[in-house]
Amino acid sequence: MSFAESLPDDHIGAEGDRPAHLPPLLTHGGELVPKAPTDPGDAGISPVTLRDLALKAAYTVPQFTTEWAARQLCLPQVLVGELLEQMNNDHLLDILGTSGPFGFRYAISGRGRERAARLLEVSGYIGPAPVSLEAYTAMIEWQLARAPEVTREHVAASLSELVLPEEDVLLAGLAASSGRSLFLFGPPGNGKTTLGRLIHGALQGDIWIPHCIGIEENIIRVYDPQLHQAVEVPVEQAWTIDRRWVRIRRPLIVGGSEMTLESFDLIYIPSLRYYEAPLHLKSNGGMFLIDDFGRQRVDPHELLNRWIIPLENRIDYLTLHTGQKIQIPFLQSLIIATNLDPGQVTDPAFLRRMGYRLYLGEPTPDRYSQIFERYANGQGTSIPPGLVAGLLERYRSEKRELCCCEPRELIERARDICRYTGRAPALNDAVMELAWTGYFGNREKSE
């Protein structure tokens, strides 16, 4: 379901409630689609920029057709035909013949080749035409203002595979439904990362994001097929869609201990001479999970300071390699998970700006038993009477703290043992004894 699926056509097109830079929108059968521009002036990007991009694409092949160029630029064939005609008039392209009823075959001219080479020295980007930063900002803000609500049922369904106290589910749901940030902390192995990933399932609807954003001659690539899940748009009149935009599932982007301060700014690729958007720009409209907070290759307080303005004002500032600053929207649920002492990796000013805080500690014996039974049942393995009680007694006798991940780990090792020894999967005392030793180690030798 798209975020505006239930809106009537006349509402989409109403000018009174449209932001100034919101791209033209259409609905087909209730589905929202960005309207394809009908001429270069409607694209929201300088026609010169579009012609330069077409010329660089032409530079890469011996000859091409109008249809090919339209596919490369993700623009309507009629619009691209006008661009190519002008480029032919400027002696940048040569017409080789016709291609279908509405197109031609072209080859880049010597003059065009010289100009393309100069353009590639400035920006090596070749691909879908960009949208403006203003159009991107207006589009993401407009969509999220109309996004489907996150209900208790959505949250319960997304977290159904976890055994959590009711209060924990409530706090996680409040963060997801409000779009506020969530700070998860507690000892390792008790579900912080898993909860941070699963709560994303409570977000409803899809959003449209651009392939890339253009700022003068600078290109910032936003859509990432490795991180974004594209959603097919079932529209009969596909030519009416502005294919510079991609419909995606609301994203979940995860960053961990590999991140540095540079990870949160534009990533300039010198060999290609264009920018890759940072992770928090790619996660707009969804969730951004920073896992293992405090273990990054930078002082955690420097990272905290980096997030003060975005959390406070819902905007961020990025820097081009020329030194120019640009303002982007910061419209996502930020989730931070750490197993370190919050007092060591945070400060009161930062925590005050976090929407919700949730401590995930060791489970109670009853909750441990529920986790064990649920995982075993999910694996089709029966539990002999008294087995879990015996495990809990062993935890007490060895003075071990219970941990939410350990039922799964012990059961998986039991399955390893049965598979290795050629036996049917079973959780008997002998198997669990070896599984326990294999997971925790030999206590006498380790001491």
pLDDT band at residue 279 using 50, 70 and 90 as cut-offs: very high
Q: Where are the beta strands (DSSP E) in 202-332?
A: 206-210, 212-215, 218-221, 245-249, 252-255, 267-269, 274-276, 287-290, 315-319, 325-329
124 pLDDT above the threshold of 80: yes
Q: What is the pTM of this model?
A: 0.89
**Digit-coded pLDDT (tens) for 421-447:** 998 888 999 999 999 999 998 765 444
Q: Which pairs with CB-CB distance under 8 Å and at least 24 residues apart come from 421-425?
A: 425/379, 425/380, 425/381
Dihedrals phi, psi of 326, to nearest 5 degrees: -125, 150
Outline where DSSP puts E strands in 1-51: 25-28, 31-34
Number of residues assigned to the chain? 447
Between CA 269 and CA 284 the distance in angstroms is 22
Alpha carbon of 418 to those of 373, 391, 422, 436: distances in Å?
Answer: 19, 19, 6, 14
Average pLDDT over residues 296-303: 82
All residues at 6 or more sequence positions from 236 whose CB lies less than 8 Å from its CB, including other chains = 28
Q: Please, which pLDDT band fits residue 9 given cuts at 50, 70 and 90?
A: very low
pLDDT at residue 50 is higher than 60: yes
With a cut of 50, say whether residue 73 has pLDDT above it: yes
Q: 33 with 233: CB under 8 angstroms?
A: yes
Confidence of residue 300 (pLDDT cuts 50, 70, 90): confident
H or E stretch at 389: helix 387-397
Amino acid at 405: C
CA angle 6, 8, 12 (to 5 degrees): 105
Nearest-angstrom CA–CA distance, 302 and 320: 21
Half-sphere exposure of 140 (CA within 13 A, CB side): 27
Categorize the per-residue pLDDT at 237 as very low, low, confident or very high, splitting at 50, 70 and 90: low
Count other Cβ atoms within 10 Å, centred on residue 210.
Answer: 27
Mapped to the 3 state alphabet, what secondary structure does 394-423 carry? HHHHCCCCCCCCHHHHHHHHHHHHHHHHCC
Report the range of poorest mean pLDDT among 19-33, 86-100, 312-326, 348-362: 19-33
CB 142 within 8 A of CB 19: yes
Hey, which residues does 402 pair with through a beta bridge?
none
Give the chain's radius of gyration (CA, Å).
27
42 compared with 390, residue with greater pLDDT? 390
Q: Cβ of 257: how many Cβ atoms within 10 Å?
A: 12
- Distances in Å between the alpha carbon of 361 and those of 163, 292, 344, 410? 13, 16, 18, 19
| Number of neighbouring beta carbons within 10 Å of residue 293 | 27
pLDDT of amino acid 145? 92
How many C-beta atoms surround the C-beta of residue 112 within 10 A?
21
Mean pLDDT over 68-85 rounds to 94
Q: What is the pLDDT of residue 443?
A: 60
pLDDT digits 0-9 by tens, 144-179: 999 999 999 999 999 999 999 999 999 999 999 999
